[in-house]
Amino acid sequence: MINIYDMTREDLIEWLNTQNVKSFKAIQIYEWLYGKRVTTFDEMTNLKKEFIDTLKNTFTIEGLIIKRKQEDDTAIKYLFELRDKNLIEAVVMKHDYGTSVCVSSQIGCNMGCAFCESGRLKKVRNLLPGEIVGQLLKIEEDANLRISSVVIMGIGEPFDNYDNIVRFLKIINDAKGMAIGARHITVSTSGLVPKIYEFAELPLQINLAVSLHAPNDEIRNKIMKVNEVYNIDTLMEAIRHYSAKTNRRVTIEYVMLNGVNDTKECAFELVNLLRGMNVYVNLIPYNETSHLEFKKSTQKRKDEFFEILNKNGITVTVRREFGGTIDAACGQLRANEVKDK
């Protein structure tokens, strides 16, 4: 049986057509699921019993189970159990302007970035759209809050699960779904170039972030396996195409690794690489873990790197740190759960 949360509204309309049922029923179903947040088909009281029986015979309404919840002043981390007993994590980040959630897109990850704790568990499988939607629904229910923005930067490479991610985006962006504005949604990729070109054709104004983390192939080959397939020149060409096609600015993610990619020379190389492109750089303080040897940059190195970019016309920000005390920060998800599998 199909989890009904896997279905976009267009999917439901197609299914309704096979049942000779009018398409407006899709709106009614969505309003019950995402407006009133019912958990059984019997609660959909404006639908006929015969149709409810058809729904029951075709779909399930399947949510996630909260296995653990940790909280500090900046974040809430959720460990969820799926139907097959696999575990995933999502993080709520508290801002002055609202609440954002970082969701996972896969169980494990095959990208093998050397500095990322989350990738120590190799990919088990892709998450289905309903399992990604379920992270948001369960968080809103448990924390009694309204999610204002979403980043797909948790466990997994979103573009390695492209079709399911697109369906997820359509569901949460749907005015009858979770109604989260496209400009409040960001998808992050480590650099799967063909999917960047495909994403440029998507008729949604979703934000794109690219994890670059190095200004040259020599360094990036050492810390990101994906660069051996899609090198920096190829990646930059794809980003330029995306910006030209969508007229949207791309976020360049750059984690600061002490003595690896945080030198003044690296900063000047990054300036030369990005000059003239419709991008801005988001410098990410590295979050150390007990399993990996990388260390965070010193404050002096971070300040010098920032100033070089800034003085040379590259728009640059520093990501605020969230959830470091509960292993909920960038690159730390599943840090204490890998051993469970």
Question: How large is the greatest C-alpha to C-alpha distance in the chain, in angstroms?
Answer: 69
- Catalytic-residue membership of 253: no
Catalytic hit among 89, 117, 157, 253: 89
* Sign of the Cα pseudo-torsion (24, 26, 29, 31, in order): negative
Cα–Cα distances in angstroms (integers) from residue 39 to residues 44, 66, 137, 204, 216, in the given order: 10, 16, 11, 29, 50
- Catalytic-residue membership of 89: yes
Q: How far is CA 275 from the centre of its chain?
A: 27
Q: How far is CA 130 from the centre of its chain?
A: 14
Catalytic hit among 109, 113, 266, 330: 330
Write out the two tokens for 340: 């469970």
Q: How far is CA 240 from the centre of its chain?
A: 22
Of 320, 340, 341, nearest in space to 151 by CA = 320
Beta bridge partners of 251: 209, 280
Q: What are phi and psi of 189, to 5 degrees?
A: -130, 150
Q: What are phi and psi of 132, to 5 degrees?
A: -80, -45
DSSP 8-state secondary structure symbol assigned to residue 125: E
E-only strand ranges, 148-270: 149-152, 185-189, 207-211, 250-256
Of 159, 274, 151, nearest in space to 212 by CA = 274
Classify 49 as helix, strand or coil: helix
Residues involved in catalysis: 89, 330
